[in-house]
């Protein structure tokens, strides 16, 4: 199948005796948007790093679009909390560099044209030649999203990409991500600790406790979703309360946006 399949994945960090992931099972259907939440330290980022091919599991299987994950690949676009741009390269060069790295046969000229198109799509048409240090945090994260999308990936893996941003930028980028997802039909795994973000964006929410996924919730609200009305609806409040109770079970109050 397309999408993401995670089957009984176990993982232990080098030098550790206890496993960080102890039998994770999770499926994300092709084109589905899945929000992954859970208390700090439960292993969400670790799972994403395994899917990105940055770590190898002790056992179990990870598949993206039907292919086993054996290392990093351009079929998966990854966005972390920190945009991790080369500070000496312009926005355009950062994206063009990633395109050329993913496809060595692409000419410099074509890579720059594709990079420009991708940056325009995320609203950075006036910042093509800006260096990362000349961009705001929100703009840098837009470059990271443009870079992830420009390589033509089928799967997007996002690890708290908006958590360092102020609410205005966060809301704007959530909307941008949703419109890109609707337009480009990507499969998305989105790690967050912000329940409202998880509810607003996701088709489903998977809740992780240390080492494994313990609950999966369907988010039935129709799209397009209006933040202002959705987040105060009784159905949303009841889902939020249910999720909060899982966080409190682990002694952690989840972040709820103002
Ligand atoms: P989450 O994303 O849910 O906050 P992480 O996946 O970052 O959790 O971390 C899960 C656990 O693995 C934590 O206990 C963390 O301290 C540990 N951990 C993360 N990275 C490493 C590492 N490089 N070496 C050893 N332990 C790590």
The per-residue pLDDT for range 192-210, each reduced to its tens digit, is 989 999 999 999 999 999 9
Residue nearest to atom 1 of ligand 1 (CA): 41
- Does pLDDT of 152 surpass 90? no
Q: What is the mean pLDDT of the chain?
A: 93
Atom of ligand 1 lying closest to residue 160 CA? 2
Q: Rounded mean pLDDT of 154-173?
A: 93
Spatial separation of the C-alpha atoms in residues 65 and 28, rounded to whole Å:
10
What is the best residue among 43, 198, 212 to mutate for testing ligand 1's pocket, by most ligand atoms within 8 Å of CB?
A: 43
Q: Are 239 and 233 in contact (CB under 8 A)?
A: no
Residue nearest to atom 13 of ligand 1 (CA): 41
Ligand 1 center to residue 43 CA distance, Å? 6
- Does pLDDT of 245 surpass 60? yes
Contacts of 100 (CB under 8 A, 6+ apart): 106, 108, 111
Query: Which tokens sit at 156?
Result: 């997007």
Q: Rounded mean pLDDT of 218-238?
A: 93
Spatial separation of the C-alpha atoms in residues 227 and 170, rounded to whole Å:
12
**Ligand 1 environment, Cβ below 6 A:** 13, 16, 20, 38, 40-46
Q: What is the pLDDT of residues 58-93, one digit of tens each?
A: 999 999 999 999 999 989 999 999 999 999 999 999
Parallel, antiparallel or unpaired: strands 155-159 and 187-191: parallel
pTM of the complete model? 0.94
Ligand 1 center to residue 159 CA distance, Å? 13
Residue nearest to atom 11 of ligand 1 (CA): 41
Q: Rounded mean pLDDT of 225-231?
A: 91
Phi and psi at residue 208, to the nearest 5° = -110, 135
What is the best residue among 9, 35, 41 to mutate for testing ligand 1's pocket, by most ligand atoms within 8 Å of CB?
A: 41
Looking up tokens 């050329």, which residue turns up? 100
Ligand 1 center to residue 147 CA distance, Å? 26
Would you place residue 252 in the very low, low, confident or very high pLDDT band (cuts 50, 70, 90)?
A: low
Would you place residue 258 in the very low, low, confident or very high pLDDT band (cuts 50, 70, 90)?
A: very low
Atom of ligand 1 lying closest to residue 47 CA? 6
Ligand 1 center to residue 62 CA distance, Å? 19
Nearest to 41 by CA among 77, 61, 16, 63: 16
Ligand 1 center to residue 140 CA distance, Å? 25
């Amino acid at each position: 199948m397309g999408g993401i399949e995670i089957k009984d994945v176990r993982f232990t960090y080098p030098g550790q005796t206890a496993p960080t992931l102890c039998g994770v099972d999770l499926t994300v259907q092709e084109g589905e948007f899945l929000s992954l939440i859970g208390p700090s330290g439960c292993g969400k980022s670790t799972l994403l790093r395994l899917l990105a091919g940055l770590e190898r599991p002790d056992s179990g299987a990870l598949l993206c679009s039907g292919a086993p994950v054996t290392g990093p690949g351009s079929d998966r676009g990854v966005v972390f909390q920190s945009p991790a741009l080369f500070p000496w390269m312009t926005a355009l060069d950062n994206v063009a560099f990633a395109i050329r790295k993913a496809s060595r046969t692409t000419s410099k000229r074509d890579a720059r044209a594709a990079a420009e198109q991708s940056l325009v799509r995320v609203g950075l048409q006036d910042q093509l030649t800006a260096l990362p240090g000349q961009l705001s945090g929100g703009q840098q994260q837009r470059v990271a999203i443009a870079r992830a999308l420009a390589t033509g990936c089928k799967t997007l893996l996002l690890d708290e990409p908006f958590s360092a941003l102020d609410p205005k930028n966060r809301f704007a980028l959530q909307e941008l991500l949703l419109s890109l997802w609707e337009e480009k039909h990507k499969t998305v795994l989105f790690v967050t600790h912000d329940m409202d973000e998880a509810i607003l964006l996701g088709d489903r929410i998977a809740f992780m406790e240390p080492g494994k996924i313990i609950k999966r919730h369907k988010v039935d609200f129709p799209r397009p979703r209006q933040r202002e009305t959705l987040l105060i609806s009784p159905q949303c409040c009841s889902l939020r309360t249910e999720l909060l109770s899982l966080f409190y079970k682990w002694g952690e109050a989840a972040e709820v946006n103002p």
